[in-house]
Amino acid sequence: MGGKVKQETKPARINSLDALGPYIGQQDNAKNFVYISDIPQLCKDEPCMLGVDEAGRGPVLGPMVYGIAFCPLSKKDILKSLGFADSKQLTEEKRDQIFDEMNKKDYATEALGWAVEAISPNTISMSMLRRTKCSLNEVSMNSAIGLIHAAIEAGVNIAEVYVDTVGPPEKYQAKLKDIFPKFKITVAKKADSTYPIVSAASIAAKVTRDHALKVWQFRERPNEEENSFGSGYPGDPTTKKFLGEVDLVFGFPRLVRFSWSTAGNALDKKAYDMEFDDADDGKDAKSKATYGSEKLSKYFSASNNESRKRNEYFRERCLEHVVEF
C-alpha cells in the first residue's frame, strides 16, 4: 500500500510577511481578491480611525492594490511606534519589516487591523475598454468604498476616515460623505505623508502588490523567468524589453494592462490587425455573420422577397394570424 500524499494547503490567515506570498500565490491572478485581517476586539469596542490608500495605480503591469488600516483613536501612538510613513518613501526592505511587525507584535495585533483588495490587470483593462466604460478613478473609488463597507460588516467601530485622494479631493469627499454620513471624512492629496493611518494602509497595499508580482504565475508563458518584467513602470528598461515580446495574435499575457497606451502602442507596432463584425457597425452589418455563423434573428423574420410556408400544425387546424379583433 502506498503512503498518503501530503497536500500543501494555503495559509488561512496572513500573520506574517512569510505567509503573504503563499497566500497570494493560491489566488486566481485573473480575478480580484479581498483579504481582511483579524479584527482586534479594541477596534470593535472603541471608536476607530481608518485610512485608505493604493499602490500600483501607474504601472502598465500587475494589479492595483487598495488597502485600508484601522485602529482605535486612543491607540494612535502605536502607528508612530511601528514607524509608519509614506510607503513610496521607504525602501522595500523597510516596508517588509513594518508589515511583518504589524502582523506579529502583540501591541500591534491587539489594536491594529488592515485589509486589501488586489484588482487584477484583467479587471482594470476590461473596465476601461468595455462599451460602458469605467474609468480608473471609478475602479479606485469603488474599491475604497467596498473596503470601508467590508470593515463595517466585520464590526470595526469607525469614527473617522482618511483617504488619499483620486481626482479632486472635494468631490471625492462629498461622494464619501453621502455614502457614510455618520463618519468624519477627510480626503486629501498626499494623505499618506500626512496621516499615519493612511501610511499604514499604504504599506499594506504596497507590500501586497510587491509580493503579488514576485509570485505571479504565467498561464500563457509557463517557462517565463521569475521577475523578467521589472517594476511595471514604462520607463523601466526591463519592462520595456518585456513589452517588446508580443504574441502576434494574442498580444500580451494577463499581467499586462492592455488598456494602457504603452501596451497599445507596442501592439500597434508588432501585432496583427484584427477585425470583428459588430451588429452596430452600420448598413453592411445585416449581410455579415458573426464568426461565420448565421444570426438567430434570421429565423424570426422573412425578407421582402421571401414567402414562407406556414407550419403544418397551423394549417391543419385552420389557424390564422390575427392582428385586429
> Which positions make up the binding site for a divalent metal cation?
53-54, 164
- As a 3-state breakdown, the chain gives helix, strand, coil percent values, each rounded to 5, of 45, 15, 45
SS (H, E, C) 55-91: ECCCCCECCEEEEEEEEEHHHCHHHHHHCCCCHHHCC
Residue 114 to residue 65: CA distance in whole angstroms: 13
Q: How far apart are CA 162 and CA 198, in angstroms?
A: 7
DSSP codes, 233-266: -TT-HHHHHHHT--BTTTBS-TTB-TTSHHHHHH
Instruction: Give dist(CA 201, CA 79) in Å, integer.
Output: 11
Q: Which cell goes with 37?
A: 485581517
**Which neighbouring-strand residues pair with 35?**
116
For residue 224, the surrounding DSSP H or E stretch is: none
Cell triple for 263: 501596451
Binding-site positions read: 53-54, 164
Vertex 124 angle, CA 181 and 32, to 5°: 75
Distances (CA, A) of 268 to 59, 105, 258: 19, 51, 12
Q: Is 160 helix (H, G, I), strand (E, B) or coil?
A: strand
128, HSE (Cβ side, Cα atoms, 13 Å) = 18
